[in-house]
Amino acid sequence: MDKTAELNQWMMTEGRQSDDPIKVVSHLCSTLIDAGVPLWRVNIGQRFANPLLRGWGIIWTPEGTETYDVTHARMLTDSYIGSPFDYIFETQRPLHKSLRGLDPDKDHASYLEVAEAGGTDYYATLLDYGDGSQHGCTFATQAVDGYTSEHLEMIEAAKLGLSCALEPMTMRKSTQSLLRTYLGNGPSEAVWNGTIQRGERTTLEAVVMFTDLRGFTAFSDMASEGDVFEALDGYFDLVVQSVTERGGDVLKFMGDGILSIFTVQGDADYSHQCRQAAFAAKGVLTGLAELNENRSNAGKSLHDVGIGINAGPVSYGNIGSPGRLDFTVLGGAVNVASRIEGLTKTIGDRALATGAVAKHVPDLFVERGSHEVRGLTQTVEIFGLVESVP
């Protein structure tokens, strides 16, 4: 059995079962080098079906192997347009290009960068997967004579095993990425592991934060559809960033409302998570000030928010019909957080919390008295966030 056949056999067995893309690509490159292919830099790009990420990939060099992510925005820049990856996807054929005598005015920057680093020859080719998706590979060398036809034949022959090894990894990463995008980190892991089925619930303690955009109904009635989506995207961006930076999960976008939680791991963790939620709320308000400054400079209307924070037991669960499920978090703590947010319109503070939160971080909140909360028979002690906390 020749080297390429041995490589494909390894890829379709040990490589496929490893679930380790770095191991797979490292083995590919070391085996091809042993077979005489003078590899110097290899980039295996994998496409995603994801609204936030366009793809991911693995870069191998003699110094090491690492993975990277590709955003949709990057695909619109000059770093991609006209690149070898762009070429092979557009033309549907491999690319073999010498890196000697390049024209800075005509050749793509990626060729110039590789050539400047000592590259002499370049090869790019496609990987075809069973679902019809296509992915790309590039192979650069520093060999004086570049690649021979035999070298390229070995690379092409190795694609079968490489595809077999990487396809299931890419499918898993794509599915997990989609779950994280729509459910958040904690819930997505539970759904992926199959621990939450229809009707099944997981009860835990959490700090719940509900954020709502003030005056959104009136704004959406007057603004164009494009302006409404642009405003929501800016608002969602700052809330999600602030929550995730503090270790929370954004679970739901409900119109202009956002439901987030900070899971509590035991009683000793309550103070920490209450503080994280409070600082996340502060981050939202700080980000909103910057967002409004930019909107004001652009002649656009300004936004304001209301934030309600509560703590207590909540339940994760899938609800719905056998053919259509929705993942959500339920419980009295969630309902109260939403209704506390509604009190921001009358009390005056933009961020309010219950005593269940404020007692754990008294330095971050000030008393705002007892207030009636819709759905509760007794009044609730309300506390306002001290927005000037460092």
Given a cut of 50, whether residue 337 has pLDDT beyond it is yes
Q: What is the CATH number of the domain that holds 144?
A: 3.30.450.40
**205, 307 in Cβ contact below 8 A?**
no
For 204-228, b/e burial (b = at least 16 CB within 10 A) is ebbbbbbbbbeebeebbeebeeeeb
Q: Is the pLDDT of residue 388 over 60?
A: no
User: Is 88 in the same domain as 166?
Assistant: yes
> What is d(CA 110, CA 43) in angstroms, rounded to the nearest whole number?
12
Reading the block at residue 257, the tokens are 């409302």
Regarding whether 376 and 277 lie in a shared domain, the answer is: yes
C-alpha–C-alpha distance, residues 270 and 123, integer Å: 55
Quote the number of domains for the chain.
Answer: 2
Both 335 and 370 in one domain: the answer is: yes
334 belongs to a structural domain: yes
Q: Does the pLDDT of residue 389 top 50, yes or no?
A: no
* 147 lies in the same domain as 195: no
**Higher pLDDT among residues 120 and 231, named by residue:** 120
pLDDT tens string 251-291: 888 888 899 989 898 878 889 999 999 999 999 999 988 88
Is 390 among the domain residues?
Answer: no
Q: Which domain holds residue 134?
A: 3-182
Q: Are 216 and 305 in contact (CB under 8 A)?
A: no
In a domain, 270, yes or no: yes
State whether 134 and 212 are in the same domain: no
Long-range CB contacts for residues 217-220, cutoff 8 Å, separation at least 24: 219/301
Residues of the chain above pLDDT 90, percent:
49
pLDDT (tens digit per residue) in 351-378: 999 999 999 999 999 999 888 888 777 8
pTM for this model (two decimals): 0.64
What CATH number corresponds to the domain at position 293?
Answer: 3.30.70.1230
- Residues 19 and 105 occupy one common structural domain: yes
CA nearest 281: which of 253, 256, 260?
260
Domain identity same for 162 and 249: no
Residue type, 59: I
Q: Are residues 170 and 232 in the same domain?
A: no
Query: Between the CA atoms of 160, 164, 169 and 171, what dihedral angle is there, to the nearest 10 degrees?
Result: 100
Under DSSP, the state recorded for 203 is: E
